[in-house]
Amino acid sequence: MSYADLTFTGLKIADGKPEIPGLPSITASGSEAKTLELTCGDACAGLRVTLYYTILEKEGVILRHQKIENTGSQTLKLENAQSLSLELPAQEYDFLSLYGTHAKEANRFRFRAHHGVQKTESVRGSSSPQYQPFFALVSPGASEEKGEVRAFHLIYSGNFLAQAECDQFGNVRAQIGIHPDAFCWELSPGETFHTPEAVLNYSDDGLNGMSHNFHTLYRRHLFPRTFAGKECPILLNSWEGMCYDVSLDKIEEQSSLAKELGMELFVLDDGWFRAGNDSRSSMGDWTCNEKKLPGGIRAAAEIVRKNGLKFGLWFEPEAISRKSRLYENHPDWALHVPGYPMTEGRHEYLLDLTREDVRTYLKEMLDSYLKDGMIDYIKWDMNRPLTDVSSTLLPAEKKGETFHRYILGLYDILGWLKDTYPHVLVEGCSSGGARFDPGMLYYISQNWASDNTDAFDRTVIQSGFSLLYPPEVIGAHVSITPNHQTGRTTPLDTRYQAARLFNLGYEMDLTKCTEEEKNEIRRQTAEHIEERSRFLDGTFYRHDVPNDNYVMWSVVTEDECLAVVFQKFFDPLCSHGRFRLLGLDPDADYMDAESRKVYGGDELMQIGVTVPLVKEDFHTFVIRLKRAFCCTGL
């Protein structure tokens, strides 16, 4: 049937919040949250819908999802089941979203909301780098530091629709949920469907206020408990140093140097299982090529651990190569439409995660590597969008469920991994930031922001992701110069300053570093290790700056402030103006760690500081402040 007339039938208020079966969601105890359950029904259609509204007062958010039950005797088909729909009063709003592409993720796009529908979406099978499952309606004058923000974020990793419609009277309806295109869920009598959870976030302290609500919520109530609030190890990733051409000798050399330079984790990236030194084969088999690594992954792990580092390993579990034993034995395991040519992406297809036998195979494969305890970290990659989205096990009337069932299958594997190996650190990646969303961060502890490691571009990418996510989950690496993705040359210090407030790592061939560069990296890692515990729970700010030639970030704790100002280009005709600090105590005094001068907190926030005009592109300035407890010292 295509008609339903839902009427209110009852309500209930409960402490805490319910879990959502099979889906990631915010967790909260009875003392932290209250949930309103509104039940509506349609006896004629045999339909009952429960709307859940959970309030977390301390975090400034409302959580929303719905449960849809077939209480009748006939099969129902769900074609559109949004997680949140909210009516907003008639006033002017700006529509803010994050857009991008591979190596250029998380760019802001802001425009005045107009009559009709404005939307952001993904139908690629994942949350995608094109658009984040997020949008905000902000007051036209809102900035980082002031103004009203109403933000919406979906805890989901698949196709989504996020939209706002302004009607003829200026009223606005905001919606977010699973994208209705290519979605049709068959609900048999007695069955239930749960929508993903949506986060409604309100701030009257500008975009920083919005971010602080998201950061606090996700730190306290979303991230895996084993790693939430813990220091992140400084890693060396092998990709730029070895690419596919891995060997035990290179691992020995690189991990030994990494330890010497202050790093704590060595990650062996792609190449360890490949038949050759390219991406054309072996995906899905996950058998170590012992011609490259005699003794296998255990031998590699033993070398790394002997050198005093933790060991990490790269996987792309969802993919399968045509040139693989797995494809030869199970071609039906790949997503495909029978009778039609399959679409290759990066020389690979995707496994059908809707199938239990596929998920069992992947769990057993991962278990075979993790059970001996030699692997401390997994990089979970996924390098292509979903195509040929059809499962051979689903009947014709259920084909519209494939996209969502794929994501449920992914969550099943990640949930098993999280529960079985809670002390294995997992980093998400998808050709960079193509699947950076809160749904993934329920299961994993950090996410790679972009394959583009250029410091200049990273100021944009990391600023964008920081709107939603705290710095410690945003992977940021210091890489070589000229940069592989852009060809741009930036100072080593600038590359470090762009990464130091985030999840710091390195991605380079350390054997090619000069002694001067090694000494500088050694200083960087020592500085980061010394300061990271103090700033881990700090409040992150993006600053309104005098002009577009600058970017400014800071992290503030009760007693300290660390700020970084990026000068993009040397421009003698550009007045750089004042840079105001945020989040300080206006009644306290602060000492500048370099000049030893003391300033009032109100002075630093209202008047600000100036930085010199340096004749150098891509230069950075660091401002380090400590609360001055007396006039003679700190």
Residue 301 confidence (pLDDT) above 70: yes
- The answer to whether residue 572 scores a pLDDT higher than 90 is no
Q: What value, to the nearest 5°, has the Cα angle with vertex 303 and ends 300 and 307?
A: 140
Please write the tens of the pLDDT for every residue from 333-353.
999 999 999 999 999 999 999
On whether the CB atoms of residues 38 and 49 are closer than 8 A, the answer is no
Q: Which residues contact 385 (CB under 8 A, 6 or more apart)?
A: 124, 125, 126, 128, 345, 434
pLDDT of residue 577: 82
Give the side-chain half-sphere CA count within 13 A for 41.
Answer: 10
Residue 36 scores a pLDDT above 90? yes
What is the number of other CB atoms lying within 10 angstroms of the CB of residue 631? 7
Split at pLDDT 50, 70, 90, the class of 613 is: confident
Residue 422 buriedness (CB in 10 A; 0-12 / 13-18 / 19+): exposed
Q: Which pair of structure tokens corresponds to residue 149? A: 């923000």
Q: What is the DSSP string of 368-435?
A: HHHTTS---EEEE---S---S---TTS-GGGGGGHHHHHHHHHHHHHHHHHHH-TTSEEEE-BTTBTT
Q: Compute CA distances 388 → 45, 111, 353, 539, whole Å.
A: 34, 35, 13, 44
CA–CA separation, 102 vs 490, rounded Å? 21
pLDDT tens per residue across span 366-402: 999 999 999 999 999 999 999 999 999 999 999 999 9
Residues near 44 by beta carbon (within 8 Å), at least 6 away in sequence: 5
pLDDT in tens, 455-491: 999 999 999 999 999 999 999 999 999 999 999 999 9
Q: What is the pLDDT of residue 574?
A: 77
DSSP 205: B
The residue ranges of DSSP E strands in 102-159, in sequence order, are 104-112, 116-122, 134-138, 149-155
Query: What integer pLDDT is reported at residue 60 of this predicted model?
Result: 87
pLDDT attached to residue 618: 97
Strand partners, 161: 121, 177
In order of start, what are the domains of the chain with their CATH numbers?
A: 7-221 (2.70.98.60), 235-536 (3.20.20.70), 543-628 (2.60.40.1180)
Q: Tell me the pLDDT tens digit for each residue of 169-194.
A: 999 999 999 999 999 999 999 999 99
User: Average pLDDT of 209-228?
Assistant: 97
**Do 448 and 426 touch, CB atoms closer than 8 A?**
no
pLDDT-based confidence at 632, cuts 50/70/90?
very low
In the structure, what pLDDT confidence band is assigned to residue 101 with cuts at 50, 70 and 90? very high
Rg (CA), the chain: 25
Above 60 in pLDDT, residue 314? yes
- What DSSP string runs through 293-353? STTHHHHHHHHHHHTT-EEEEEE-TTEE-SSSHHHHH-GGGB---TTSPPPPBTTBEEB-T
Mean pLDDT of the chain: 96
pLDDT at 2 over 80: no
Task: Please say if the pLDDT value at position 542 is more than 70.
Answer: yes
The residues assigned a catalytic role are 381, 451
The structure tokens 């020389």 sit at 347
Q: Quote the tokens at residue 142.
A: 């809102």
Report the C-alpha dihedral over residues 82, 83, 89, 94, rounded to 10 degrees: -90
Q: What is the pLDDT of residue 423?
A: 97
Q: Is the pLDDT score of 631 beyond 60?
A: no
**Cβ contacts of residue 12 below 8 Å, gap of 6+?**
36, 37, 39
If DSSP codes are grouped into helix, strand and coil, which group holds residue 438? helix
Alpha-helix residue ranges (DSSP H) falling in 103-247 = 206-221, 239-242
**What is the rounded CA–CA span in Å between residue 527 and residue 631?**
27
Determine the Cα angle at 386 with ends 381 and 388, to 5°.
140
- What letter would DSSP give residue 457? H
d(CA 350, CA 163): 29
Q: Which of 61, 57, 108 is nearest to 210 (CA)?
A: 61
With beta carbons less than 8 A apart as the criterion, state whether 455 and 617 touch.
Answer: no
Confidence of residue 629 (pLDDT cuts 50, 70, 90): confident
